[in-house]
Amino acid sequence: MKQSFYRLFIELTNNRFTSGLLRRFATSRFSKFFINPYIKAFNLNMDESKETDFPTLHALFTRELKQNVRPIHAGESELACPVDGVLESYGKIEMDIKFVVKGKTYSIIEMLGSKEMADKYDEGYYMVLYLSPSHYHRIHSPIEGEIVSQFELGAKSYPVNKAGLTYGKDPLSKNYRIISEVLCSENNKHVAMIKVGAMFVNTIVVTKKEERVKKGEEVGYFSFGSTVVLLFEANSFSPNLKLQSGQAIRVGQNLGKLH
């Protein structure tokens, strides 16, 4: 019953009209009056921000940080965390190219849009990194390498918070998303980075236009809280043993070993 009510409520509110209204408000000069209450409500650390005066809420959401406040701690053969957020879930990808989050089974074929692309990640590893509205929203490359493909899938976006992952209709594989597949220089294996749009403000901006990416380099940003899913080929990655589901993570943090 709870699941059905949740889905019905989201279907009634998550449409182009309501999304457009919120987007227009967040980018309007009137939203400036909500900036200070928002900073206080989410306890944002503005000492890290490159700018301190924002014309709109959208400008606050997509703020840049001061240089060197997110040093890259991951070494040459290690995975650098691409976002500030929460490590929602991680683990092995099953033999039928699926994984489970909050009791829901996600098909990587559906997530990536083709079996041909998904087959590379059979029996590999996955990580789900969640960004709440309180987090820094810019996305950085977790590895050094070459972007071999980049494309969009999906249309609507359902919530990707704990309630959304528990009661929603497979948001990680159905939401609007931008998939970037990178051939890693350190092990010559592929890593898929799936940037998943959040409810209402369905905007993902790619800022890196060149094919080569450096570890820690900015590649894009979300306009609101959202999620990044990382997929690794079999025998190409092992997670940091200190990691735990639900823990806070930061850009540049060592998330594991590349093989």
Catalytic residues: 84, 140, 226
Cα 199 to chain centroid distance, Å, stands at 13
Distances (CA, A) of 92 to 39, 153, 204: 37, 24, 27
- Token pair, residue 259, equals 């093989």
Block residue for tokens 């990382």 = 230
N residues, the chain: 259
Contact between 144 and 213 under an 8 Å Cβ cutoff? The reply is yes
Sequence-ordered alpha helix ranges (H) in 106-177: 108-112, 115-118, 162-167, 171-174
**CA nearest neighbour of 194 among 207, 213, 181:** 181
The b/e string for 128-146 (b: 16+ C-beta within 10 A; e otherwise) is bbbbebebbbbbbbbbbbe
